[in-house]
Chains A and B, each alone.
Chain A
Amino acid sequence: MAEKKPTGTVLVAGAGISGIKAAIELAEIGYKVLLTDASPQIGGILAKLDNQFPTDHCGMCRMLPMVGREYASQYCMRKGLYHENIEILPFTELKSVEGDAGNYTVELLKKARYIDTDKCNGLGECIRVCPVETADEFNHGLTLRKAVYKPVPHSTPQMLLIDMETCTRCGECVKVCPTNVINLSAEDEALTRQVHAIVLASGVKLYNLKDFEDAKSWAVSPDVVSSLAFERIISGSGTFDGTIRRPSDGRPAKKIAWVQCMGSRNRRQKRDYCSSICCMFALKEAVLAKEKGGDEVETTIFYMDMRTFGKDFYRYYERAVDEHGVKLIRCRVQGVMLNPDKSLSMRYFDSETQEFFVSDYHMVVLSTGQVPYETHQKLADLLHVDVDSRKLLPTDPYDKVKLVKPGVFLCGSLMGLTDISEAVGSGIAAAGQVSRFLSGLDVSLLEEEEIPEPTAKDRDEPLVSVVLCKCSEKMQESSVDFNALGAGLKRLNGVGEVHILDMLCSDEGKQTVLDLLAKSKCNRLLMGACHPFMYRKSLKNLAKKAGFAASLVEITDLSSIVHRGFFDPQPVESGKRDYTRLAYNDLRGHIENLKLKPALHVESLSINPAALVVGGGIAGMHAALSLAQRGVEVHLVEKTDRLGGYAGTRIEHTIDGLTPVSMAKDLAGKVLEHKHITLHKNCEIVATQGSLGAFETKIRDVSKEENFYLTHGAAIIATGGHEGATDEYEYGNSDQILTQAELKDGLATGEIDVGEAETIVMIQCVGSRQKEGREYCSRICCIGAIANALAIREKNPEARIFILYRDVMTYGFTEQYYTQARLAGIIFVSYSLDNKPKVELVDGSPVITFTEPVLNAEMQLTPDYLILSTGVDAEASNREVGKAFGLPVNEDGFFVEADSKWRPVEFLKVGLYVAGVAHSPMTLKDAILQAEAAAHKTYAYLSGRKIHTAHTISRVHDAICVRCQRCVTICPYGARSYDEALDRIIVDGATCQACGMCAVECQNNAAEIMGFSDKQIMAVIDAGLSKDPVAATPD
């Protein structure tokens, strides 16, 4: 027999959202993942953020896998995560990386927590008795914690640890620990692992107030807080239970100011970059302050440029200002003064009124930006590579996630300065690159688990085995009378046996259960143990070992009732009665539920392993090649007769030295040569039907005037976009008035000679960021204008170049080009929407009039050229393509993804993905990143691995279904459809997420969620309200 191939193993170093996403994506396709984080918990910065725009709440759970969801945790992600294929190692540092591509040996250092979190039951007695109090980092020092503490209060398992810096080693915690899991002399543990690929996702830090060189002008009061600290102040689990109070005296804060660009866009501090996230962060916090604190809360943001460049950011900005009344003042404030009444004064210049003001605030929030660079040198040393000229890790020029060292990838804020959706997208893209890399190595996937069919025993009369854990000896004086409870449960119909054990979590405990269950005649199992999240994985495995069908095992949280009783101050006797009843009713509900639960089975789906990519631009070609490289058959449909799209045919050079046209030529060559790619030029999408795994798309070949059909398992929409059109500012009436693209072409061909030009004026946001027109920022025009201005400057150092702008959107590292342009003497003049520049033609030449805000004077220029930045328009064909696939297109003509933050390249309809400008205007690198991510999402289904439905899924009872199709309409995922030929409602098993909408909507109970039937829930309600005496207790 041939030697077994090693299982493809990937280290993901950093468990913030991008790392988590990369890990989930790799685990989903069957690789083994080691997910480490240097901090004691996972979740990164997002663990602290309760609210994210645009919903102003949280949707992190949407990041969990859709198919194979039952392999992963199915609860709030901010509590924690598990996945069968991911080994999570928090508090573990990467110490060294040796070896070559595909064969890395990594050394990890698992730091001592002094508490065995695998066995800790989360009772928290240690916290109660700990005498030490110190500032809690989680709440930015606004609250206190003990030396033994939970690093993230809402995490589960609770992941306690002891901070040895403050611990006095008094040993009180050791004495009270019921499970004996505290070891004060524990040591760090060195681990060595072999991995095939590495994903670096160590993220960034936010600028620390204390590191300010000019801290004394800002850190004048505890009421000057960082934006992340403010997030904790307003959090429901934060410092003041969700009310807005100032930290100094806990009094309500009614006047709050935000100061932008703290620690960024500052050349003096050598921080010539924009943190990219703070503008939206501040807008969101200001809106939240209004929502939580009421209308009387005044919120003011002091800013330089309101950088609302992302998809739908501008609309959020409009809502913040128009609906919530957030006040924006363009002024870089220089410091804060503390008044005797503890209020804070700031002096600013209001350019609208041309006056200086001093205003008092109750609280000042500093938008402390992301700090790149810090970890790059360290990581570069570990990997034996040199940082690049920007002091960042050296990556492929086009691929932000691909390090120059083969087999090593990066994602999240390590790539640059990213927001949530970019972090998530890059996590998927990094997983995609890893999967491409591993497909070239001789490694295997984790073995597919055989999912057993329900046995005859499972279908027998239900008989429940109940296993209860009392926790430990130290908890004997607990509030629940286990003997009475056990006797009461045993009396119930359908209960075969009740076992009461100590410490189910211990190895002996587990063995005892296995021995007991081996003799059991029962076919259903209820475990009342610790916190269900905590041991779910190990208890599930235990149940499996004991031979129970997965769907017939329930694990319930008995411990929280026991713990609640433990801390209840009421007398033991009455308490015991109360809590025993509580536990009895709860367990009885679960028993009734289990008795009625059918043995569920899963089905494997038949998947057509071909992909369709719509659009032969750079994103489309990149996605096609990414899939083809992994052996997927790809049909690439392009509506014109040539590949390359807009960027690949029009943009020769970008400001950061990329050459899209030649890059597109290179890609096109590979596409044409690739044996797995079939190109369909001059073709348009007519209609599509089917669902994941079995789509059929009708395509029209425009040149041959004939139709044909393609069948495919999934599709990527990469239809792209183009430069916007305008008739504003006399465009079209003078050959001295050009768009940026026309200027660029003219400069390249030499048709436009700027050598003799005296004055050139550029106007930004033409038809953009306004109610009528493109109500969004096109993201690339400011950088494009600067690139053109610098090119003109090079040809003609004497020319006066004016750029009239509203907000300069040079986010991230592109800020340096803005700096460069200003140093080169290019004059930036801001204008506002209600005072736009005016252009008239005098003798056929443009004359432009505008207000110069610093001089507060009207100026008139007669430029040689007037250049208009007309933004990016969506392809007009998006609406037809959207209609064909049943996909939503927004009012701007771009496709609407499933979730702007957490599912950036997916559609709600499973099996369809979006990449590039079809999603929203974006830079070339971002489009490539999205293409990689979309390709990977597609690959997860088309890799040839079996795709199973979940156990818990919606079904139709045809006999009682009246085909009214109301379930079809209400399903949020489009998982239900009516098959006319069969005259039946069909459920798409891969798409259904078991939300239960159909079951409620159905008048006949014909729609049912397996495992959540009416009968079961009714029985649970009965049990919950039952007053049956618990046996043997004087109830």
Chain B
Amino acid sequence: MSEFEPKIVGFFCNWCTFTAADLAGTSRLSYPHNIKIIRMMCSGMVDPKYVIKAFLNGADGVLIGGCWPGDCHYINGNLKARRRVAMLTEILKEYGIDEKRFWLRWIAASEGTMLREVVNDMTAKLKELGPSPLNREALGEKSEKAKMIG
């Protein structure tokens, strides 16, 4: 069987992290295809239900990328994101989603290298962790938990 390839959904802020991803692309800093990037205007625009939805659809990890504190184009959306992520992490844990699967990172527009490192790092950590309990495809229908929730 081929190696487990985790699926990551990245919600990236338009102004910083999405730009960094773009920079990584144009600078040919290759990062794994494991990540599906969804552009949001602000990290503070990421509704917790989007994160839950991604996990329910079988994502092995979710990465929210925003501007550094103080840099938010919308004043303080990133701080609101931070508050929500802290809360959501606790809720996800209750449902068996390891907190190591849900990351929030500040990545500025110029930090293409950092973006690549974060994605590489997350991919590696998720490989160690194995598929998410909700990733039915990777686990096969055997997973009891998947059956229960799905």
Contacts and interface: CB of A to CB of B under 8 A. Distances in A.
Given A560-B26, A585-B36, A1025-B59, A58 B45 contact: no
B114 interface: yes
B68 interface: yes
Interface in A668-704: none
B143 interface: no
Nearest to B38: A1020
Given A236-B112, A972-B75, A1014 B47 contact: yes
- Among B22, B50, B58, B84, residue most surrounded by chain A Cβ atoms (within 10 Å): B22
A531 B50 contact: no
B100 interface: no
Interface in B23-56: 23, 25-28, 30, 33, 36, 38, 40-42, 44-50, 53-54
Given A74-B14, A560-B25, A585-B36, A237 B77 contact: no
A218 to B, nearest CB: 29
B109 A1024 contact: no
A242 interface: yes
A996 interface: yes
A699 B109 CA distance: 46
Contacts of A242: 111, 113-114
Nearest to B10: A1024
Nearest to A1001: B80
A747 B16 CA distance: 57
B49 A76 contact: no
A935 B21 CA distance: 39
B23 A237 contact: yes
B23 A972 contact: no
A75 interface: yes
B89 interface: no
B53 A1021 contact: yes
B63 interface: no
B22 A560 contact: yes
A237 B45 contact: no
Given A154-B23, A560-B26, A1024-B38, A241 B57 contact: no
A564 B18 CA distance: 16
B50 A1021 contact: yes
Given A76-B15, A908-B75, A972-B75, A50 B45 contact: no
B19 interface: yes
B38 A1017 contact: yes
Contacts of A533: 22
Contacts of B40: 996, 1012, 1017
Given A237-B110, A993-B74, A1018-B53, A999 B47 contact: yes
A57 interface: yes
A578 interface: yes
- Among B14, B19, B40, B112, residue most surrounded by chain A Cβ atoms (within 10 Å): B19
A1017 B52 CA distance: 12
B126 interface: no
A972 B57 contact: no
A55 B53 CA distance: 34
Contact of B45 (A153, A560, A1012): A1012
B108 interface: yes
Contacts of B76: 972
Contacts of B14: 74-75
B64 interface: no
Contact of B109 (A58, A153, A564): A58
A1000 B47 contact: yes
Contacts of A560: 22, 25-26
B101 interface: no
A590 B109 CA distance: 23
A74 B50 CA distance: 23
B80 A57 contact: no
**Do most interface residues of chain A lie in helix, strand or loop, or is the interface mixed?**
loop
- Among A59, A997, A1025, residue most surrounded by chain B Cβ atoms (within 10 Å): A1025
Interface residues of B, number: 52
Q: How large, as a class, is the contact surface on chain A?
A: 35 or more
Given A236-B114, A237-B110, A156 B26 contact: yes
B30 A564 contact: yes
Contacts of A1027: 137
A994 B14 CA distance: 12
Contact of B113 (A156, A236, A995, A1017): A236
B148 to A, nearest CB: 20
Interface in A980-1035: 993-997, 999-1000, 1009, 1012, 1014, 1017-1018, 1020-1022, 1024-1025, 1027
A145 interface: no
A237 B111 contact: yes
A860 to B, nearest CB: 48
Given A585-B36, A996-B41, A1022-B57, A567 B30 contact: yes
A1017 B50 contact: yes
A421 interface: no
B67 interface: yes
Contacts of A372: none
Interface in A18-66: 50, 54-59, 61-62
B41 A995 contact: yes
A564 B25 contact: yes
Contacts of B75: 908, 972-973
B30 A568 contact: yes
B71 interface: yes
Nearest to B75: A972
Contacts of B80: 970, 997, 1000
Nearest to A64: B73
Contacts of A1021: 9, 38, 50, 53-54, 57
- Among B40, B45, B50, B84, residue most surrounded by chain A Cβ atoms (within 10 Å): B45
A55 B50 contact: no
Contact of B71 (A57, A75, A994, A1014): A57
A237 B112 contact: yes
Contacts of B27: 153-154, 237
Interface string A125-155: 0000000000000000000000000000110
A62 to B, nearest CB: 6
Nearest to A59: B71
A55 B109 contact: no
B108 A57 contact: yes
Nearest to A1018: B53
A417 B2 CA distance: 62
Interface in A425-473: none
A110 B19 CA distance: 29
Contacts of B33: 578, 582
A57 B67 contact: yes
Given A74-B14, A568-B30, A585-B36, A1000 B108 contact: no
B110 A995 contact: no
A293 interface: no
B96 interface: no
Nearest to A78: B109
* Closest A-B pairs by Cβ, 7 of them: A996-B45, A55-B70, A995-B74, A236-B111, A1024-B36, A76-B19, A972-B75
Interface of A: 50, 54-59, 61-62, 74-76, 78-79, 122, 124, 153-154, 156, 158, 235-237, 241-242, 531, 533, 557, 560, 563-564, 567-568, 578, 582, 585-586, 589, 908, 970, 972-973, 993-997, 999-1000, 1009, 1012, 1014, 1017-1018, 1020-1022, 1024-1025, 1027
Given A560-B25, A564-B25, 20 more contacts: A57-B67, A59-B70, A75-B18, A79-B23, A79-B109, A154-B27, A236-B108, A236-B113, A242-B114, A557-B22, A589-B36, A972-B74, A972-B75, A993-B74, A995-B74, A997-B77, A999-B45, A1012-B41, A1017-B47, A1020-B38
Interface of B: 7, 9, 14-16, 18-19, 22-23, 25-28, 30, 33, 36, 38, 40-42, 44-50, 53-54, 57-59, 67-71, 73-77, 80, 84, 108-114, 137
10 contacts: A57-B68, A58-B71, A75-B19, A124-B28, A972-B74, A995-B41, A996-B45, A996-B77, A1012-B45, A1025-B9
